[in-house]
Amino acid sequence: MMDGNIAGKKRVLFLCVRNSARSQIAEGLTNALCGDRFEASSAGTTATRVEPGAIKVMAEIGIDISSHRSKSVREFIGRPFDYVVTVCDESQPDCPFFPGGKESIHRAFDDPSACRGTEEEILDCFRR
């Protein structure tokens, strides 16, 4: 436990701009599905709120992220991570950078909170 890992778990930080949807979903999925191997956190350049659509679609698959809060990347400065994963889409020049990861990964996802339409159409964006 020299680097702060809990029981040998790899630490992952998911980053996006507002920490409201993509990174929250990634944190919830990783902890629920791979929590025996990974300890996931998420943050954004600017903390806002967790989107209700993200909470709703995660609940549809049995994962409760209703207690999550949006966090600023500043909260994680100085903490070591095995992986830092940015999940911003390619059109966002303000996608955050975090220097504390052993390995950086980028995987672009469209921002579901930018979707417009009926409630069901918006939720479909979050499901994607």
Per DSSP (E only), the strands in the chain are 10-16, 38-44, 81-86, 101-106
Tell me the angle at which helices 52-60 and 22-34 cross, rounded to the nearest 10 degrees: 30
The sign of the torsion formed by the CA atoms of 46, 48, 53, 58 equals positive
Among residues 34, 95, 115, 125, the one annotated as catalytic is: 95
Tell me the two tokens of residue 17.
């701009």
16 is catalytic: yes
Among residues 16, 34, 115, 125, the one annotated as catalytic is: 16
95 is catalytic: yes
Among residues 34, 88, 115, 125, the one annotated as catalytic is: 88
Active-site residues, by number, are 16, 88, 95
